[in-house]
Each structure stands twice: as C-alpha cells, then as structure tokens.
Structure 1
Amino acid sequence: MYRASSKVTSAHNDGVWSTFWTSRDQILSGSVDEVVKSWDASSLEESQSLSVVKQYPGHVLGTISVVATKDGRRAATSSLDCQVRILNLETGGVEKTIDTGAGETWQIAYDPTDKFLVSGSQQGKVNIINIEQEKIVQSIAANGKFIVSVAYSPDGKLVACGGFDGVVAIFDVETGTEVQKYQDRTKPVRSVAFSPDGSFLLAASDDMHVKIYD
C-alpha cells in the first residue's frame, strides 16, 4: 500500500498545478505563483524530506504544465502567459523561451526524441512545437473545443488529446488526420496517456471515471 511518507508544507505560494519526477531523481513542480521548482528526491527514502535545488521564476502568469526529457537534463514548462520555456536542470538556466501565441499552449508533452513538444490549445487545436526552431510547426484541428490534455504515443507516430467537452481523439502526426475519436463522455478529460506498447490509451475525466481505450 502507498502512504504519504513525506510532506512539504507551503511548497509554493499558490496552487500547484503540475509535478514531474525526472529520471535523475529530481521532482519538478509548477505553480500558479509563476515559479517552477526542482527538488532533490535522491535521499527521499532515507530522510523522507525534500530540498529545493533551484527555483525558476519568469513566467508572468501561472505555470500550467511541467515535463522533463528522458535523460532528466532538461525540462519544458507551459504557462498562462502563452510561453513555453526550456530549462537546463544541470546548470539551472533557461535555454529557450518560445512564444506560442494567445491561448495556443495548455498542457505539454515531449515526443520520444525529446525534439518536439505537443500542446493543447484553447482554440481546439493540437500544436506541435519544434524546440530547435522555437516555434509551432504543425497545428492539427481537433474538435473545436478547448484541448486540456495531450500525449505522444511511444513510437511518436500518434498524438492523443482530451477536450473540455469530453471528447478524446487520436491523430496521425505525419498527416494530421484523425485516426480515432471517442465521444462517450461529456465532462473535461484532464489526462490522457498511452500504454508502454502504445496499444491502449488511458483517459481520466471530471466524470470521476478512468477509461481504457484500445
């Protein structure tokens, strides 16, 4: 059974919207207080405590989403200020600040190569961001509603999204065409995730249900 083995009181000055545990045992947290923090989790099992490694202020509005690369060296953050920032977790610096346009970035996720990010938008689009080029290179029209959750398939060929209207959709990245759509719920789908082999899609919603699609 899992239990609460550690607690950080007042980890941020406002609500915490996103967390991520990196492969290098750092915990990342993003908050409405406009700050992203990295925490050292390497000794968590022994000391049951977390210490702040670095704080990354700079977003003008609250941080929506924070994710890290597979090697744990870099992280990406998205914010209500319509910017995506690329953080270097080794140096503690900000490598890139990408302006995505009003309402064009909500939750983000890395592709398997860590060279692209997928993001949902308030305009009902799924956007592909080329990190090196620092811009959106592809926009896929989803269902016309606010896209609140996104995920890449393990092979990088598909992206899934969950909408505020409850619609779950899967798209082919290369062609931008819709592969599958599920319209069996009416409340926001806050999280989507592919299984490790890519054969199943998990979706969690405000309707209190978690569903697995194949």
Structure 2
Amino acid sequence: MKLALLESVQNAHEDSVWTAAWVPETEYSPPLLLTGSLDETVKLWNPDGPQSIRTNTGHCLGVVSVASHPSGRIAASASIDCFVRVFDVANNNTIATLESPPSEVWQLQFNPQGTILAAAGGGSCSVKLWDTAEWKLIDSLEVPRPEASKPQDKIRSKKFALSVAWSPDGRQIACGLMDGTISIFDVPRARFLHNLEGHTAPVRSLVYSSAPLDSRVLFSASDDASVQVHDSERKTLITSLSGHSSWVLSVDVSHDGAAIATGSSDNTIRLWDLKMRAAAQIMTGHTAQVWAVAFGPPLKTDVRSCLLASVSDDKSISFYKYT
C-alpha cells in the first residue's frame, strides 16, 4: 500500500483549514470534498483539477466540523458561533439552522442510514442527536460524570466531548472525551454502555473499521501522540500505534479496511498498515499541523484505489492517491 501526492492547493482558504469530509457522488456530480476553515467559510471542491466549486459563507466564526449525508445531497457544518447549518450541496440553500449553547457543538457525523445527525456536545459532555426529517433534537446521550470525592478531584470529574463516530450498523455511537476516555452508547435504547480506556490526553478523532468482519473495531487519535485500536464491544485495547511526535488530530480508515491515515500537529501524515501494525509511509508536504485526513470512495477507474485528502493550518489542501 502507498500514497502518491497528486496535487496541493495552496491558500485554499484565507486561514487555517480545520475540517474535511467527502460528499458521496450522485447522478449529478462526482465525489466532492467539503472543507471548513477558521476563515468562517465552508468550501466545496472537485478533486479533478482540483477546483473550488462554491463557497458557503453562512457562519460568523470558525468552522470546526463538516459532515455529509450518505445521499450526497445535503451536508452540515458546525461553527464556534454555536450554530449548525444544514444545506443543500447542489445549490448551497439552507435547509435548517440548529442552535446550541456556547461550546456545545463540535464534531458532526450523520448515521449510515442518514436519519440522524450526531454532534459531540462539548461542555455539556453529551452526544446531541437530531432527526433529519424535521431537524428536531430527539435525544441527548449523557456521558456519566464521576463524582469528585475530594476537592482536587473536581477537575478530573469535568468532561468535555470532542469527537463522535457511528458504528457501521448505526446502532452504536462512540464519543471521544477531553480526559482521554471514549464512551460507547446504544442509540436505539438511548443507553450508555461502557467506557474504553487507554489514552491519557484528549481524543480528537474516531472512526470504526470499514472491514465487514471488523465492524466492532474502533480507531482513536489522541493528543498523547498515539493511535489506539479497540474492540468496542469487548472493551479491550487491541493495540496502540506510536510514531507521531506530537498530537494526533485526525484518523480515517481506507475503504478496504487495510489501512488508516493519521494527521498530526507534527505536520505529517502517516499511512498505517493494519496487518503489520506499523507505519508504511510518512508524508511531509504540509508546513503546519494537519487537522484532518479523509479517505474518499473507491475510484471508478481502479476500485482498489481511492483518494485521500488532508487539510492543515498552512491553509492548504492536499490530494493523494491511495493504492
């Protein structure tokens, strides 16, 4: 397996690019890339070129997360301005505006069925769930807070939800917390199941395996400079991958389930061979921390290959071919 740099777009945004997500292809367009930036905009990119298709200026503060609906027709963006904007990908028209208290909407993700939009609830230490038919808040899954037995334990009892990931069947959701723990919920029953332990610093990014036989495997990226691989059902740590010299800000899994990519504040991207449990390649093209990496769908010209996109504080977007 390998990554080959195809193109980098310098000054893709006017400020740091914090988030990226692929929009699935439709009958009207090929797969597209969504990016969100500190410059308060969301941009839509055609990787063929690559070229910017349109700019969304609906937010008034930095955009911390973008997410695409499985249909490829709608997308959502979350900002520090406390709003989630849901919009039509084709024409940029606003479909819904979801308001939340300050610091209570961070990473977004639609469930595989497209019926629910989830958001890491930040200071509320919860996962917010909105129904995508009427865009109403249908649940708030609360992370249990340990009781502080001593005054010095009060800081430890405070939690903050940073990241979310849906299981492939859409029945469970994982939530990464500032204290390094990962909370697993049963969504249909609105029930907390258990925590996954192992990290010692904030969990910035989560993704479940795309391999059919490994659907309970969960990958987590943390400020402790490690990537951990968990069995989310058995509550066990399968392995820990180390190599980055600083925070690991993002993790994503390839469509074939054989590799993961990570982006770090050490300015690098690493491609990890999951069978070997080792880094197969290190990409050093960015000049500042890499906030997000995102694998695209298989290429029509070669189903064994796909695109990988990365975004960075250096304002650039890079596209790679994963083979």
Give the number of the structure with larger relative contact order, counting CA–CA contacts within 8 Å between residues 6 or more apart. Answer: 2
CA deviations on 1:77-110 (whole Å, 9 max, x unpaired) are 1111111111211123222111123322110100
Q: Which has the larger radius of gyration?
A: 2
Pair 1:35 & 2:41 matched:
yes
Confirm or deny: 8 A CA contact 1:99 1:135 kept in the other structure.
Answer: no
Aligned to 1:167: 181
- What amino acid maps onto 1:19 in structure 2? A
Flag the structure with higher strand content. 2
CA deviations on 1:128-147 (whole Å, 9 max, x unpaired) are 11233323211111144111
TM-score by length of 2: 0.62
Residue 9 of structure 2 aligns to a residue in which SS? Answer: coil
User: Identity over aligned residues, as a percent?
Assistant: 34
State which of 229, 249, 254 in structure 2 corresponds to 1:212.
229
Confirm or deny: 8 A CA contact 1:187 1:205 kept in the other structure.
Answer: yes
Aligned to 2:196: 182
Confirm or deny: 8 A CA contact 2:18 2:37 kept in the other structure.
Answer: yes
Q: CA deviation at 1:187?
A: 0.3
Q: CA deviation at 1:3?
A: 3.1
Q: Which runs of 5+ in 1 are unaligned?
A: 44-48
Pair 1:200 & 2:217 matched:
yes
Aligned to 2:56: 56
Partners of 2:176 and 2:94 in 1: CA distance: 29
After TM superposition, the structure 1 = structure 2 runs for residues 14-29 of structure 1, keeping only pairs within 5 Å, are 14-24=15-25, 25-29=31-35
Residue 7 of structure 1 aligns to a residue in which SS? Answer: strand
Q: Which runs of 5+ in 2 are unaligned?
A: 26-30, 146-158, 232-323
Provide runs of 4+ in structure 1 moved above 6 Å.
none
Larger CA deviation: 102-111 vs 158-167: 102-111
RMSD of aligned C-alpha atoms?
A: 1.4
After TM superposition, the structure 1 = structure 2 runs for residues 49-88 of structure 1, keeping only pairs within 5 Å, are 49-88=49-88
TM-score by length of 1: 0.91
Aligned to 2:142: 141
Partners of 1:149 and 1:52 in 2: CA distance: 27
- What amino acid maps onto 2:88 in structure 1? N
- What amino acid maps onto 1:207 in structure 2? D
Equivalent pairs counted in the alignment come to 208
Confirm or deny: 8 A CA contact 1:100 1:136 kept in the other structure.
Answer: no
